[in-house]
Structure 1
Amino acid sequence: MMRNVKMLYDTQQKTLFETRNPEQEYLELINKEYNFQDAIEILDKIDWDFQDFRTQYLTHTFHSYPARFIPQIPLSFIKLFTKENETVLDPMCGCGTTLVEAFLNNRNSIGNDFNPLATLITKVKTTLINEDEFRYFNKKLAVMKRYLDLDYRRVDERINNLPNRKVSKIFNRVVISKLESIRETLLDVKEEGHNDLFDLGGVALSSTIWSLVENGNGIDVDDMFLKKVKSMQNDLNKMAKIIKTIPGVRVICGDARKLDVKNDSIDLIVTSPPYVNALDYYRAHMYNMLWLGMDFDLFRKHEIGGHSHFIINRFRLLSEYLGDVLRSMIEMNRVLRKDKLCIIVVGNSSLEYELIESHKFFAEMGKKIGFKPIKTIFRNIDKTRKYTSADIGKIDDEYILVMQKVDDTNISAEDDNFVSDVVREQMLGFREQIKKCQGTSIRSRKPTNERLLKNVDKISEAIETISKDTKIKR
């Protein structure tokens, strides 16, 4: 395994391959130096489906996360369009795929996300821990394991001490007792000053809870947690052997519409924003966040692209979403150096059987704020990899929008009038498109004529409330 990992990131060992394969050819292609225009042309030579490529290696395996993109996407742009010690930003970093690839390739990185669980996972994935720390941690966990069954007598006390009582409704008493014993041990670790181990343990605990929610209460909780910690330790040790110098990493739990990043300081942006109406991340992460004592309600309030409100008129959700993404793109323009690239990965979505081609909206909005769309890449994806809402189903393709910053925008992300004007223009165009072309969802289901007329009326109603719906949620 170590040999395979080394070959991924050390092209000098390419002679170790006995036979050529698509993954080797891809790595050889992106590891060469190109000028900007040649690098743009190289994008056409990459098979962006990455079928049968290894996507789960090193710290990418730490935690399941819905709708994350595969590491080869950020890796391609990092290798082709940045140099070592330059800085890569993912303003909606999710579980940190972009930052891990930047870390492995000696690029500084900044990750931002409003989801505190996402930023915790990202931080742990990009933080090396030495052997002495792990020896301490393993001893601590061994003591916990020894007394775990005896501690079951404290189950009632532990239920009363849970960070949120809602979690007691989905797990049985044995599971609750064991999970809380793990959490108490982690709090002791933090109290004794081992913050990085506390964070790593929190991610392992969250991963265990995720598996419990997915698979039910029948799992041996403590063994699963301990195996997860051991696996994470092994992956970090492998990463430590690959990393020659540790680049700078900054992880921010913040709003992509108001980035805590300096102007003109970023050399590449690679990100994948949430899809409109596709997935409520707060629902997917609810029990993990509640057990870890995170501010679940605050994240739910500020989530971009969720579909838990605007029940009567779903097209108001699209207006709100476009406004949020536009504000984020204005911030991306502010922090990105001139002539550098902004890469946005997004799939189509659907509202009331009407196809929402997000990448086209983003490209048009980008033109308003100093971005020049230079390429849109289509790629097929495994349906099992993208979580969406029940009315959409699984997404089986997505688009990689490549934009270059050609001008500084003088627009503030807090300019409500500008944002509402741009979104109104997009929604008017969307309405005209629907009038001319019978609607169809990504499941190829067309609305009836009656629904089509209702959709046009609902979009008209949504246009009337754009100024209200696109205001930043405070």
Structure 2
Amino acid sequence: MYGCEKILYNNTQSTLFGEKTTEQEYLGLVSKQYTFSEAISVLDEVDWDFKDFATQYLTHRFHSYPARFIPQIPLTFIKLFTDEGDTVLDPFCGCGTTIVESFLNNRNSIGNDFNPLATLISKVKTTLVDETEFRYLNRKLSVMKRYLDLDYKRVEDRAEHLPNRKISKIFNKVIISKLEAIRETLLEVKEEGHDDLYDLGRTALSSTIWALVENGNGVNVDDLFLRKVKSMRERLNETAKVVKNIPDVKTINGDSRKLEVETDSIDLIVTSPPYVNALDYYRAHMYNMLWLGMDFDLFRKHEIGGHSHFIANRFRLLSEYLGDMLRSMMEMNRVLTKDKICVIVVGNSSLEYELIESHRFFAEMAGRIGFKPIKTIHRNIDKTKKYTSADVGKIDDEYILVMQKTEDAEVTADDDNFISEIVTEQMTDFSEQIKKVQGTSIRGRMPTKERLLKNIDRISDAIETIPQDIKIKV
């Protein structure tokens, strides 16, 4: 049987979500017990737009993060297709939405992401901190606050010892001095053995830097940082009241194409991978990562779906992306228990005014590696909330691909010949498709006849370079 009798969060959902009837009806629907086939049918009864639903409850609000999905998506599948004590994986965990929902519903979870900032945020969102620890942190921060109000003598010295000189280009020296003083205080916290507080403080510092990048030098840095810490403390305390049994949570700063997860150990996968040519996450997080001393260049080199290379032929990006995603899906197949569900949430993208329907590529590839596509769900989203890139713009819908593992993949994710073969098939089919039906980009722009012919030639050229483009960069 799937699901559990207990209503969400020990019957405290009205506190978390308010008293809206639609939300209560939704929670009642997904919290019942169903057989597998019944649970699949229930997916058709869910209003996937989740219009006006609360999405920033508890620790979900800790840190801004681009292109994240709303918690009701993983929550639905967690409630319908797992039991308490099962293990949920998100191989592209981002800021930890799936991990938080698993934590709140007493499911063990593993969050994997190549972005070290993502795994830091995910860890902090699911790590409860004792009040005595917070009192210790308050004492440290009160000393820091007095120090910041009095001492500007070390401004030049701090500016000379930044983790990376690039970050001095957007902040004035007073802000640099304050941020560096905060960082020094957090290092003292770590040296004194308070690792969880250190991670929480780094997350608050990252969130502060995010606000600075968006709002400029007019932000009162130390006050904003202290407000961030206070808010995180309050939300963790609220979470502690909700979570009665603390499940196992593991965050891995790793590669989705080489998951550090045991074979056949996962009961459910829910993830939202990057979109091709849509958003360079390394650009979005550059200043946060540099200030926290994270390996920004390594993340940029291995980012999936980024658009900072292959400038001469953008369709080589698609080949590379499909190869990376095929490897990732093969790893998902390896770690997922047979007959269990894998859910991939992805939106459309575009290259050279040609529409890229990623969910269709994924569904076709899935059938070759031991997955059976069961259902593709279309959902509308508020396009003011989900921005990707200048090429793609704001996205107003996305697709939820639901698959079941029916067998193990016959080959492994490191088989370059197999990857090359499948990607070649996909790119060839894509070329034939746009010859028959002239595509339009996600913004509604249609390629001219001249551009269409060039695109077909570029795809042909991209097919020739697939064997080298699908290789994992060393």
Counterpart CA distance in 2 for 1:71 and 1:14 is 16
Q: Which residue of 1 aligns with 2:116?
A: 116
1:65-464 to structure 2, matched below 5 A, reads 65-464=65-464
1:327–1:192 distance in 2 versus 1, CA, 3 Å: same
Question: 1:244-297 deviations in whole A, cap 9, x for unaligned?
Answer: 110000000000000000000000000000000000000000000000000000
1:330–1:141 distance in 2 versus 1, CA, 3 Å: same
Counterpart CA distance in 2 for 1:334 and 1:137 is 43
CA contact (8 A) 1:11 1:28 kept: no
1:26-41 to structure 2, matched below 5 A, reads 26-41=26-41
1:364–1:199 distance in 2 versus 1, CA, 3 Å: same
Question: 1:429-458 deviations in whole A, cap 9, x for unaligned?
Answer: 000000001121111110100000000000
SS at match of 1:213: helix
CA contact (8 A) 1:346 1:399 kept: yes
Counterpart CA distance in 2 for 1:14 and 1:58 is 13
1:223–1:8 distance in 2 versus 1, CA, 3 Å: farther
1:414–1:153 distance in 2 versus 1, CA, 3 Å: same
Counterpart CA distance in 2 for 1:300 and 1:164 is 16
CA contact (8 A) 2:289 2:295 kept: yes
Instruction: Give the partner amino acid of 1:148.
Output: L
Percent identity, aligned pairs only?
Answer: 76
SS at match of 1:152: coil
Segment drifting more, 17-26 vs 137-146: 17-26
Off by >3 Å, runs of 4+ in structure 1: 11-20
How many residue pairs match? The answer is 469
Instruction: Return the offset for 1:149.
Output: 2.4
1:310–1:374 distance in 2 versus 1, CA, 3 Å: same
Instruction: Give the partner amino acid of 2:325.
Output: V
Counterpart CA distance in 2 for 1:451 and 1:394 is 23
Instruction: Return the offset for 1:8.
Output: 5.5
Instruction: Return the offset for 1:472.
Output: 0.9
Counterpart CA distance in 2 for 1:280 and 1:320 is 15
Instruction: Return the offset for 1:386.
Output: 1.5
SS at match of 1:95: coil
Counterpart CA distance in 2 for 1:308 and 1:16 is 41
Instruction: Return the offset for 1:7.
Output: 8.6
SS at match of 2:408: coil
CA contact (8 A) 2:371 2:406 kept: yes
Counterpart CA distance in 1 for 2:262 and 2:54 is 35
CA contact (8 A) 1:7 1:14 kept: no
- TM-score, normalising length: structure 2: 0.97
Instruction: Give the partner amino acid of 1:166.
Output: K
1:16–1:432 distance in 2 versus 1, CA, 3 Å: closer
SS at match of 2:171: coil
Instruction: Give the partner amino acid of 1:405.
Output: K
- TM-score, normalising length: structure 1: 0.97
Instruction: Return the offset for 1:384.
Output: 2.3
Instruction: Give the partner amino acid of 1:442.
Output: I
Instruction: Give the partner amino acid of 1:244.
Output: K
1:21–1:341 distance in 2 versus 1, CA, 3 Å: same
Instruction: Give the partner amino acid of 2:292.
Output: L
CA contact (8 A) 2:340 2:405 kept: yes
Instruction: Return the offset for 1:15.
Output: 12
CA contact (8 A) 1:354 1:441 kept: yes
Instruction: Return the offset for 1:18.
Output: 10
Instruction: Give the partner amino acid of 1:108.
Output: N
Instruction: Give the partner amino acid of 1:380.
Output: N
Question: 1:162-205 deviations in whole A, cap 9, x for unaligned?
Answer: 11111111101111111001000000000000000000000000
CA contact (8 A) 2:7 2:27 kept: no
Instruction: Give the partner amino acid of 1:251.
Output: T
Counterpart CA distance in 2 for 1:16 and 1:350 is 37
Q: Which residue of 2 aligns with 1:42?
A: 42
Question: 1:361-402 deviations in whole A, cap 9, x for unaligned?
Answer: 000000000000000000001112222110211011000000
Instruction: Return the offset for 1:151.
Output: 2.4
1:13–1:268 distance in 2 versus 1, CA, 3 Å: closer
CA contact (8 A) 1:11 1:31 kept: no
Counterpart CA distance in 2 for 1:413 and 1:7 is 39
Instruction: Return the offset for 1:30.
Output: 0.7
Q: Which residue of 1 aligns with 2:3?
A: none
Counterpart CA distance in 1 for 2:13 and 2:273 is 36
CA contact (8 A) 1:145 1:222 kept: yes
SS at match of 2:129: coil
Question: 1:287-343 deviations in whole A, cap 9, x for unaligned?
Answer: 000000000000000000000000010000000000000000000000000000000
Instruction: Give the partner amino acid of 1:138.
Output: N
Counterpart CA distance in 2 for 1:442 and 1:274 is 16
1:18–1:282 distance in 2 versus 1, CA, 3 Å: closer
Instruction: Return the offset for 1:11.
Output: 3.4
Instruction: Return the offset for 1:9.
Output: 2.1
SS at match of 1:289: helix
Instruction: Return the offset for 1:13.
Output: 7.4
Counterpart CA distance in 1 for 2:295 and 2:214 is 22
1:122–1:18 distance in 2 versus 1, CA, 3 Å: closer
CA contact (8 A) 2:7 2:28 kept: no
Unaligned runs of 5+ in 2: 1-5
Give the RMSD, CA atoms, in angstroms.
1.6
